[in-house]
């Protein structure tokens, strides 16, 4: 630590900090997360692909990083096989490994994967700036920027489909259970597979643009699950068309996060970009059908336009902070989706009942 680094925002603001990882210049969308724990899971969440992450909790790194190993061909401690964030900004990096599972420091982990990180940044003021002006394009650089930052070229990650960067490239199978789930991988968090394998399932993980209705020799499946992922769902017409066809065939569907937005688009609804998104493990939502509230884990920058949802769908969940849509449930058919992360990692496990709900529907609808 000691080398100076700079976060340059597209509005011309420059934030100086001390480097504690790789000295690599990167472009990205600057967003913030208000979670207090769970940085190994957060940094490996593929929904963060292309983003420079600001952590609002002041102490980051104080329990190190657990070892990287697999159980049943699934990474046991992380939500993907590598760090997905483009860069990291923190107020205070704590170079500790005070945890029984820790095998390396956060700095070493980031450095090995060529991820730049800055500490000693006023993240409170930086977060206020993002809240007021919205998420912005930014650059982490280790060359002192000139007074006029107009010479920088800022990259807009939202102009392209980011999902091919994080989706699997071929069909992968997990488990040998009776219930066959076609999991459309848009950049999934691995805990979704871990939880599904607790049921009597075979999970068939397919690339984001795989269409089982047009593919040669498609696998047999009973239901569809659509994962989370990065970017704008409107850049994914292939996945949207697959979901439209699945709904016509009345195949049970469960979507999470980006999967929620994709299913909404398949119904004919619209989505819009939030000013600064929801990224934390403390987002309150309410179930509009029974009045129960839940604390949820979230990571998204887009939301469904409630007014565009078709009449045959219920507005299932609503965010209690800003009243944005958090879930949809078809009134008669076996389709539903939520904007939050019931699989957690990190975050509360209060919403895992949604997996019970899903498998009950699948078994009932498909008579398994």
Q: So which residues are the catalytic ones? A: 257, 341, 343
In contact, 316 and 340? CB cutoff 8 Å: no
H/E stretch holding 85: none
Distance CA 24, CA 285 (A): 39
Can the peptide bond before residue 346 be classed as cis, meaning omega within 30 degrees of 0? yes
3-state secondary structure of 215: coil
Calculate the alpha carbon distances from 251 to 201, 202, 203, 227, 316 in Å.
16, 16, 16, 16, 20
What's the 3-state SS for 173-201?
A: EECCCCEEEEEEECCCCCHHHHHHCCCCE
In contact, 26 and 139? CB cutoff 8 Å: yes
User: 176: how many CB neighbours lie within 10 A of its CB?
Assistant: 9
Distance CA 94, CA 361 (A): 46
Burial class (CB in 10 A: 0-12, 13-18, 19+), 52: buried
């Amino acid at each position: 630590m000691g080398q100076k680094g700079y976060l340059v925002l597209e509005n011309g603001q420059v934030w100086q900090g001390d480097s504690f990882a790789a000295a690599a210049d990167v472009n990205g969308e600057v967003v913030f997360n208000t979670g207090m724990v769970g940085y190994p899971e957060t940094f490996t969440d593929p929904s963060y692909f292309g983003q420079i992450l600001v952590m609002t909790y002041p102490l980051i790194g104080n329990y190190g990083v657990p070892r990287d190993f697999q159980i049943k061909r699934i990474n046991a401690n992380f939500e993907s096989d590598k760090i997905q964030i483009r860069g990291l900004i923190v107020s205070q990096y704590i170079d500790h490994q005070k945890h029984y599972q820790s095998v390396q420091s956060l700095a070493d982990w980031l450095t090995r994967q060529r991820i730049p990180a800055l500490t000693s940044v006023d993240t409170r003021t930086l977060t206020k700036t993002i809240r007021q002006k919205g998420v912005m394009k930014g650059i982490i650089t280790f060359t002192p920027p000139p007074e006029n930052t107009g010479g920088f070229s800022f990259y807009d990650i939202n102009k392209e489909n980011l999902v091919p960067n994080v989706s699997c490239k071929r069909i992968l199978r997990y488990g040998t259970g009776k219930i066959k789930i076609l999991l459309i991988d848009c950049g999934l968090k691995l805990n979704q597979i871990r939880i599904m394998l607790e049921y009597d399932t075979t999970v068939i993980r397919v690339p984001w643009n795989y269409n089982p209705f047009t593919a040669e020799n498609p696998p047999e499946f009973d239901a569809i699950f659509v994962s989370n992922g990065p970017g704008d769902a409107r850049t994914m017409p292939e996945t949207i068309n697959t979901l439209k066809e699945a709904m016509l065939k009345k195949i049970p569907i469960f979507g999470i996060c980006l999967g929620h937005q994709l299913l909404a688009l398949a119904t004919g609804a619209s989505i819009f970009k939030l000013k600064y998104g929801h990224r934390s493990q403390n987002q309150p939502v309410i179930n509009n059908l029974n009045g129960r509230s839940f604390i949820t884990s979230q990571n998204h920058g887009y939301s469904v336009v409630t007014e565009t949802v078709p009449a045959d769908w219920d507005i299932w969940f609503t965010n209690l902070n800003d009243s944005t849509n958090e879930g949809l449930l078809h009134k008669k058919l076996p389709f539903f989706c939520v904007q939050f992360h019931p699989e957690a990692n990190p975050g509360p496990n209060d919403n895992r009942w949604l997996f019970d709900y899903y498998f009950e529907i699948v078994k009932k609808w498909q008579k398994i």
